[in-house]
């Protein structure tokens, strides 16, 4: 798409975002992939990445007033990861709004998760420059409404559950956890736990200041290995 | 330190920060290490970490309007890493303000980089909740003033950027790079690049196995010559 027709397209996107840009050029820049040369959306993506993380961090902070920071961090990661952002970008019809070089267009770049999520971050950066934190919160509050309604710390946080599910999908047996070492003084013990999966040779070993934490870490290692 | 005497101590810290908290309890919480139980500063640290990253990202975005996002990201990392934050925390006399359990006090926790930098992030989170983004920008603008003055992308190894800055300081035009020769087979090309600065007679020539590397080497030659 040319920059000219892009300006018209931007009107439709502004409507979807629910934000009228004082300076629409910045929205055009946010949608410009580096394949068009300069200016493009790379610097806005850098800014938007931080702004997005900050706003989602705050949403979760208020929504889950009792939750420890570890759970909040994991939920935030789920809400800002490439896959999530590319889904939101498609809902906003970004593939039709992206401005990119013909080579990228031919190779289907307008529908690539990485390019869509980068552009999403860039648009957040553009919103921030154009309307400040309140504009970003407004727009993201609407875009993330459903995701925030359904997100649950439980689903994310428990790597033991995740491991169990992963194993069931692959029709493997359930894991066996064992404390293989315990060190330190009574008030500051360190537990070393092994996680074995029957039928799999590798043993996953992790430590933690509680048995449960060590088990979770070991399970996380196992999930990582199984997903490779 | 007890929570009672902490309230008095907080007055001194508020002065140093240049922000009067509407709700001083949140500042006390930001200074409370998990060793005191609950409430402590871990959730505020989670929030503050994001807010800090966002504000520093914006400072750098505006301060270096021409710099690619890769350099901005590296500079931001340098400005928010543990060592930097612990230095800022010591300047604010955090070791005297931290509220922690006796075990941590005995083991010198009030002077540990990790604990100080966590508390610094938590205070940023508290500032954000108490006064919004503008309060955070105000305070961090002052605290980071010297660091922002001295930070240079150049330190981060890109001789092309370094050349650009050197030229801007001397009010000279930007350099022009040109591939003047290319030799070798497809898989092992050698590029010869010239770097010319409008208004300067010398031409700086270098080779490399990629165009970018050759450009960097040529730029390094130019910087060397300009600094003589």
- Residue-wise pLDDT for B8-29, tens only, equals 667 889 999 999 999 999 999 9
CB-based contact B172:B200 (threshold 8 Å): yes
Tokens of A70: 């570890």
- Whole-angstrom Cα distance, residue B224 to residue A65? 56
Catalytic residue among A9, A104, A118, A121: A121
Q: Which two tokens stand for residue B142?
A: 């002052």
The token pair at B102 is 């006796």
Which whole-number Å values give the CA distances from A3 to A117, A133, B185, in the listed order?
21, 27, 39
3-state secondary structure of B195: strand
Based on the residue annotation, tell me whether A121 is a catalytic residue of this protein. yes
Options 3.30.2020.30, 3.30.160.20, 3.40.605.10, 3.30.470.20; CATH for B159-226 is: 3.30.160.20
pLDDT (tens, 9 = 90+) of chain A, 228 residues, equals 455 565 666 788 999 999 999 999 999 999 999 999 889 999 999 999 999 999 999 999 999 999 989 889 989 989 999 999 999 999 999 999 999 999 888 989 899 999 999 999 999 999 999 999 999 999 999 999 999 999 987 544 578 888 888 888 788 888 999 998 888 777 778 888 999 988 888 888 888 888 888 898 888 888 877 876
Q: What percent of chain B has pLDDT over 70?
A: 93
DSSP character at residue B126:
H
Q: Which residue ranges make up each domain of chain A?
A: 3-152, 158-226
CA neighbor of B30 nearest in space, from B21, A119, B158, B212: B21
Whether residue B107 has pLDDT greater than 50: yes
Q: Is the pLDDT of residue B34 over 90?
A: yes
Of A45, A49, A104, A157, which residue is the catalytic one?
A: A49
Residue A92: per-residue pLDDT: 97
Expressed in percent and rounded to 5, the helix, strand and coil fractions of chain B are 65, 10, 25
Radius of gyration of chain A (CA): 22
Q: Are strands A203-208 and A190-196 parallel, antiparallel or unpaired?
A: antiparallel
Beta strands per DSSP E along A31-189 = 176-183
Q: Is A146 a catalytic residue?
A: no
Work out the number of other CB atoms within 10 angstroms of the CB of residue B188. 8
Rounded to a whole number, what is the distance in Å from the CA of A184 to chain B's nearest CA?
Answer: 15
Order the strands of the A203-208 sheet from edge to edge: A176-183, A190-196, A203-208
In whole numbers, what is the pLDDT of chain B averaged over residues?
Answer: 89
Shared fold status for B3-151 and B159-226: no
| Residues of chain B neighbouring A62 (CB-CB closer than 8 A) | none
Mean pLDDT of B124-136: 98
Report which of B27, B32, B29, B184 is spatially closest to residue B100, judged by C-alpha positions. Answer: B32
Q: Are A153 and A173 in contact (CB under 8 A)?
A: no
**A130: its two tokens:** 């154009």
Q: Is residue B126 within 8 Å of B29, Cβ to Cβ?
A: yes
Spatial CB neighbours of B62, under 8 Å, sequence gap ≥ 6: none
* Cβ neighbours, 10 Å, residue A83: 9
Residue B61 with chain A: CB contacts under 8 Å: 43, 46-47
Measure the CA–CA gap between B99 and B28, rounded to whole angstroms: 8
Q: Does A78 touch chain B (CB under 8 A)?
A: no
List, in sequence order, every beta strand (DSSP E) within chain B: 176-183, 190-196, 203-208
Of B45, B51, B73, the CB nearest to A54: B51
Instruction: State whether A69 and B45 contact (CB < 8 Å).
Output: yes
Between the CA atoms of A99, A11, A84 and A134, what dihedral angle is there, to the nearest 10 degrees? 120
Distance CA B161, CA A43 (A): 16
Which residue(s) pair with B193 in the sheet?
B179, B206
- Chain position carrying tokens 């800022």: B88
Provide the pLDDT for residue B8. 66
Strands B190-196 and A176-183: unpaired
CATH 3.30.160.20, domain A158-226, yes or no: yes
Architecture label for domain B3-151: Orthogonal Bundle (1.10)
Measured CA to CA, the distance from residue A177 to residue A195 in angstroms comes to 5
Phi, psi of A98 (to 5 degrees): -65, 145
Average pLDDT over residues B141-164: 82
Say which residues have a Cβ less than 8 Å from residue B172's Cβ, sequence separation at least 6: B197, B198, B199, B200
Neighbours of B107 (CB within 10 A): 11
Predicted confidence (pLDDT) per residue in B71-101, tens digit = 898 899 889 999 999 999 999 999 999 999 9
Residue with tokens 């709700």: B23
Structure confidence at residue A155 (pLDDT):
47
Q: How far apart are CA B211 and CA B67, in angstroms?
A: 20
The CATH-assigned architecture of domain A3-152 is Orthogonal Bundle (1.10)
pLDDT value of position B217: 82
Write down the pLDDT at residue A7: 62
CB of A85 closer than 8 Å to CB of A116 = yes
What ipTM was assigned to the predicted interfaces of this complex?
0.70
| Chain B touched by A132 (CB under 8 Å) | yes
Task: Report how far apart, in Å, the C-alpha atoms of B187 and of each of A134, A137, B78 are.
Answer: 52, 50, 37
Q: How far is CA B169 from CA B150, B157, B225, in A?
A: 14, 18, 15
């Amino acid at each position: 798409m040319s920059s000219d027709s892009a300006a018209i397209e931007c009107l439709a996107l502004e409507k979807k975002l629910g934000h009228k840009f004082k300076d629409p050029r910045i929205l055009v820049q946010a949608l410009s992939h580096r394949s068009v040369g300069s200016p493009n959306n790379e610097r806005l993506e850098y800014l938007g990445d931080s702004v997005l993380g900050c706003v989602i961090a705050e949403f979760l902070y208020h929504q889950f007033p009792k939750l420890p920071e570890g759970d909040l961090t994991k939920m935030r990661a789920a809400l800002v990861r490439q896959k999530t952002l590319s889904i939101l970008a498609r809902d906003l019809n970004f593939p039709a709004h992206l401005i990119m070089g013909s080579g990228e267009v031919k190779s289907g770049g307008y529908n690539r998760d990485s390019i869509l999520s980068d552009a999403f971050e860039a648009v957040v950066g553009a919103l921030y420059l154009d309307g400040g934190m309140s504009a970003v919160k407004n727009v993201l509050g609407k875009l993330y409404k459903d995701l925030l309604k359904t997100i649950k710390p439980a689903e994310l946080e428990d790597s033991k559950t995740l491991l169990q599910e992963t194993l069931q999908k692959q029709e493997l047996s359930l894991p066996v956890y064992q404390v293989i070492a315990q060190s330190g003084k009574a008030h500051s013990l360190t537990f070393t736990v092994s996680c074995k999966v029957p039928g799999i040779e590798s043993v996953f070993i992790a430590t933690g200041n509680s048995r449960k934490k060590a088990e979770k870490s070991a399970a996380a290692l196992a999930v990582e290995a199984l997903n490779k």
